[in-house]
Amino acid sequence: MSENADALQSPTLPLPPPKNFFQRFIGVIISPTETFQDIARKPDVLVPMIVFILISYATTFFTMPKIDWDAITTQQVETMKAKNPNMSQSDIDRMTRITQGFGKVMGWIGPIFGVIWWLILAGVLFLAFKLFGGQQTFMQAWSTVLYAWVPMVLYGIVLAIIIAARPGNWDPTHIATIVKSNPAFLVDMKEHAMLYSLLSAIDIFTIWMIVLLIIGFAICSKTSRAKAATIIISLWAIMVLVKAAFAALGAARMKASS
């Protein structure tokens, strides 16, 4: 009885101060459970968003000048010619200029759209976990999504290094297989569009991110990892199948017009 009374009367140990961004960045790599517990206790979004956007702009700086714009426009020209064999050279040149101009603009403002994507992903997961009894706040969900995005940040850095180091330009239509982190490079994208899309989704960095999302949301929503895995993997599978269906539809249209 005295031991129990002493235990009840002993003061609660103070919680350690929250980790800073760089500690959390490293923490999700080497000790994700402990780090996501810290994130759930005091979520943050501003610093990781700023750092990730700056990293994205740095990778854009190295990759944008080496884009093979001809590879992008050639496929569009072939599609347009199949639909309209009487296209003049001036029409083709105009379409090429528009495509390249739009691509360059999107390349430089693209990192800003990352904020919108993080918000959408956080919102979808926040609502999905709420439907199944999750107790997380939106700020916890948003912060968890950002720190679970660390593998994709590392992927972008690796991609930029590979593109900058190798000679010649790179074809953005084959961006999924420049880093050989998924088996999509084993099939031809044009001949097997749907299979290519499915295989590109089985990516080491993507799987790593999904694992971090499962760990993070299990902690911040106070649910089991099994339930978190069921929710997140189900949503990911739906997205993969929808993307593959669009890829198959696009390939079918290309073949029909050729």
| pLDDT > 60? residue 5 | no
Give the model's pLDDT for residue 252: 66
pLDDT (tens digit, 9 = 90+) per residue, 189-203? 878 888 999 999 999
Give the model's pLDDT for residue 111: 84
| pLDDT > 90? residue 29 | yes
Give the model's pLDDT for residue 102: 74
pLDDT (tens digit, 9 = 90+) per residue, 117-142? 999 999 999 999 999 999 999 999 99
pLDDT (tens digit, 9 = 90+) per residue, 74-91? 767 666 666 666 666 676
| pLDDT > 70? residue 9 | no
DSSP per-residue string spanning the chain: -HHHHHHHHSPPPPPPPPP-HHHHHHHHHH-HHHHHHHHHHS---HHHHHHHHHHHHHHHHHHGGGB-HHHHHHHHHHHHHHH-TT--HHHHHHHHHHHHHHHHHHHHHHHHHHHHHHHHHHHHHHHHHHHTT----HHHHHHHHHHHTHHHHHHHHHHHHHHHHSSS-B-GGGGGGTS--SGGGGS-TTTSHHHHHHHHHS-HHHHHHHHHHHHHHHHHTT--HHHHHHHHHHHHHHHHHHHHHHHHHHHHHHHHH-
> What band does 249 get if pLDDT is binned at 50, 70 and 90?
confident
| pLDDT > 80? residue 242 | yes
The full set of domain ranges for the chain reads: 43-257
pTM: 0.85
CA distances from 1 to 10, 214, 237 (A): 14, 41, 54
